[in-house]
Structure 1
Amino acid sequence: MFVIAIFALLTAAVVEGRQNLAAQGITTGFSFLERSTGFDVGFRLIDYGGYSSYARLLLVGLLNTLLMGTLGILAANLVGLIIAILRISGNSILEAIGVVYTELFRNIPMILQVIFWYMLLLQLPPPRQAFQGLGTILSSRGAYVPALNVNTDHAVIAIAVAVAGLLALLVTAVSRGLSRHAAIRRIRWSLALATLVAATVTLWLGRIPETQLISWPELQGLNIRGGMRLQPEFVALLFGMAIYGGAYIAEIIRAGFISVGRGQIEAARSLGLTPLQVFSRVQLPLAIRAVLPSLINLYVWLFKATTLGVVVGFTDFFAVISVSINQAGQTLELIGILMLTFVLINNSLAFVLNRVNKAIALKGSHLRS
């Protein structure tokens, strides 16, 4: 009866809303997705122009959000792991650095940090005095990094192949049934090699004719040619996610390190393992296993934090939805698309990581043995 009541309430709301919109002469539906937008966007991973459709625009924003969310989570993990190691290092100076970092950046709202990094990036020198090193050029126009001279379709296929290969490797790593297979190591190496070869061949076939596979940024006069430009908005949001999220991840991982029993560490040392082997094969795996549920919650939150890019003008999914609402006027449809997309992305992320957590969790019988 409760479900029926909720369904009836939602149905009544939809019918009433459609009647009110029709009375005001406002059309509903998703046919607007086929109309041309008439404007351009700054940062995009696929081809897009002013004559592209709203559906293409939403795809551009979705890909930007997926890229930013993935890079932000990876960067935050790296920062958090480094700070957590400093906190448990036993060196008073390194521990103090870790404490200062955590207490400073964890208590400043992320939106303020994003704005701060954005304003700081805008104060960098112009291209002629830009900072150069490791194939990267950093100026007030953004960061220029090496890029592949590959057409978009082949690049997307190569990324899909790489993601599929990584997921397959993940399944073989966490599956208890496969882990007992005698030839599992050979299977993993073969799978990794096949993924690498398939992605490389795809990129090579998609190489733009008469160009090198890799385009390096170069300073030419008052401009920078080659490579791929990462706009200040992109870099500022990435810095904000990495530094703010890293402060929280550091405390979570530190709690995992503390949860590892001293007896397990001493047993590993007594077997003749080096300090690096003790850390990589005993401390880190057990720590991640203990805190993965907490990390999953933070990953979902960090992915939703990509919407803060709107304060500095980054064209993520939320930003293109906002612009589309102003241009097309289809508020309900676009907000519905935004909500449904984030629900699907975050639930998919949580589902995969929860499956990993379930696969690597120690059962009660294992603990007793």
Structure 2
Amino acid sequence: MSKADELRRKAKRRKILIQAGLIGLSVLVIVGAVTTARTNLEAQGLTSGFGFLDRSTGWDYSFSLVPKDIMDPYARTLFVGFLNTLFVGFIAIFLTTLFGFIIGTARDASNIAIKSAATVYVQIFRNIPLILQLVFLYAVLINLPGPRQAMSMGDTVFLSNRGLMLPGLSVTPGVAVGLLLASFALGVFLIWRKMPLFRGLVVWLGGSILMCLVTAFAMRPEGASLVSVPALQGLRFRGGITIPIELFGMIIAITLYGSAYIAEVVRGGLAQVPKGLTEAGQALGLTTGQIWSRIKIPMALRSIIPPLGNQWIFMMKATTIGVAIGFSDLFYIVSISITQSGQTLELIAILAGAFLLVNGGLAVFTNWLNARMKLKAH
């Protein structure tokens, strides 16, 4: 064995020993912290462990996608909060991406008025803290007229201090959540098949609408119409879809804030497309829309997707601001559970684990999507 090989082996062994030492030190620190915390809890008469998850909560909360009861155990209540977080997060991700692309494209427009309006929008909503926007918007919404004086649009859409009432398919909330997941899966499948942008959007939209109509026709209650329209009965609206004022405020606030950031991501990606490509498209007689969809967006996506994924993860974490207005997302449920049960460490671990799971999944999806777009560009 040469001297160079022996030196490499010694360096490798040294690296392994250092890494093993760091891992061992980390384990000791974690074990020591857990042991100390358990000792302190026992000294205060508090029990540790996850046995409390089977106990009934005895308290209520505002919003749930599935049936709930005041005597639900902590496990089910936390699961409801987790579903609410996913629901708000994915709606916010979809809307912020949609409006972000629209505003980012406007920022790249040649029309001075459109470009200036998009710039003003970005500067306003990006530079005001999200929680301040939410609290201001919520203060406006809760001071709207009551149901009897609700603002109406064609006697089918109503907005009051109770929330936003919309026409909807005659399905249960659980079925509606299932349809959302099926629509998301269809979108992922179309991306996997590398379908062109506008054709993919048309197929996704048409397929989602068809799934909704077929499901509503097959699973609607006996004698019920396919579409349920909200109608005022007494002091509340019945029928249709009711979006509580807290949920409505959160969706609007996160969408306004997040779309400003995504617009900048889109604008930066479009700016990186070589001008020679757009000039070549113009020379071939392509319209502005064709240049945007067939040249600029496909080329820009390779640089847009990675920072876009970061914004998606931020949108999911931004759902925690719901605690400021009493929306029952996972962070709110965990906060109340800590107060009622005293299981601080366990509940914080559940909260952290849930966000690690969701945001880790988003990161994996972003990497997969980026790889698909890169393969398509070659």
Shorter chain as denominator, the TM-score bin is: 0.7 to 0.9
Encode CA deviations 1:35-68: one digit per residue, 9 max, x unaligned: 2111222111111011212111111111111111
Report sequence identity in percent: 40
Say whether residues 1:285 and 2:285 are aligned partners: no
Say whether residues 1:150 and 2:210 are aligned partners: no
- Which moves more between the two structures, 234-243 or 316-325? 234-243
Encode CA deviations 1:316-350: one digit per residue, 9 max, x unaligned: 11000101111122111110000011011111101
The CA distance in 2 between the partners of 1:87 and 1:295, in whole Å, is 17
Q: Report if the CA contact (8 A) 1:169-1:192 is conserved.
A: no
Q: Report if the CA contact (8 A) 1:115-1:312 is conserved.
A: yes
Q: Report if the CA contact (8 A) 1:151-1:208 is conserved.
A: no
Matched AA of 1:307: T
Q: Normalising by structure 2, what TM-score?
A: 0.85
The CA distance in 1 between the partners of 2:211 and 2:72, in whole Å, is 31
1:72 deviates by 1.1
Say whether residues 1:164 and 2:177 are aligned partners: no
- Which moves more between the two structures, 120-129 or 240-249? 120-129
Q: Which has the larger radius of gyration?
A: 2
Say whether residues 1:33 and 2:53 are aligned partners: yes
Say whether residues 1:324 and 2:344 are aligned partners: no
Matched AA of 1:109: P
Superposition map of 1:121-270 within 5 A = 121-133=141-153, 135-173=156-194, 201-270=214-283
- Identify the residue that residue 349 of structure 2 maps to in structure 1: 336
- Identify the residue that residue 327 of structure 2 maps to in structure 1: 314
Assess, with a 3 A threshold, how the Cα gap between structure 1 residues 154 and 73 changes in structure 2: closer, same or farther.
closer
Say whether residues 1:105 and 2:125 are aligned partners: yes
Q: Count matched residues.
A: 354
- Identify the residue that residue 182 of structure 1 maps to in structure 2: none
Encode CA deviations 1:217-261: one digit per residue, 9 max, x unaligned: 123454322122212211111111111111111111111111111
Q: Report if the CA contact (8 A) 2:104-2:267 is conserved.
A: yes
The CA distance in 1 between the partners of 2:172 and 2:253, in whole Å, is 31
Say whether residues 1:276 and 2:296 are aligned partners: no
Encode CA deviations 1:198-218: one digit per residue, 9 max, x unaligned: 665554443223322322112
Structure 1: 5+ residue stretches without partners: 180-184
Assess, with a 3 A threshold, how the Cα gap between structure 1 residues 117 and 38 changes in structure 2: closer, same or farther.
same
1:197 deviates by 6.5
Helix, strand or coil: the match of 2:152? strand
The CA distance in 2 between the partners of 1:199 and 1:101, in whole Å, is 34
- Identify the residue that residue 83 of structure 1 maps to in structure 2: 103
Structure 2: 5+ residue stretches without partners: 1-20
Helix, strand or coil: the match of 1:81? helix
Assess, with a 3 A threshold, how the Cα gap between structure 1 residues 127 and 302 changes in structure 2: closer, same or farther.
same
1:127 deviates by 1.9
TM-align CA RMSD? 2.7
Q: Report if the CA contact (8 A) 1:33-1:55 is conserved.
A: yes
1:194 deviates by 8.4
Q: Report if the CA contact (8 A) 1:34-1:54 is conserved.
A: yes
Matched AA of 1:120: V
Say whether residues 1:351 and 2:364 are aligned partners: yes
Assess, with a 3 A threshold, how the Cα gap between structure 1 residues 70 and 9 changes in structure 2: closer, same or farther.
same
Helix, strand or coil: the match of 2:193? helix
Q: Report if the CA contact (8 A) 1:256-1:288 is conserved.
A: yes
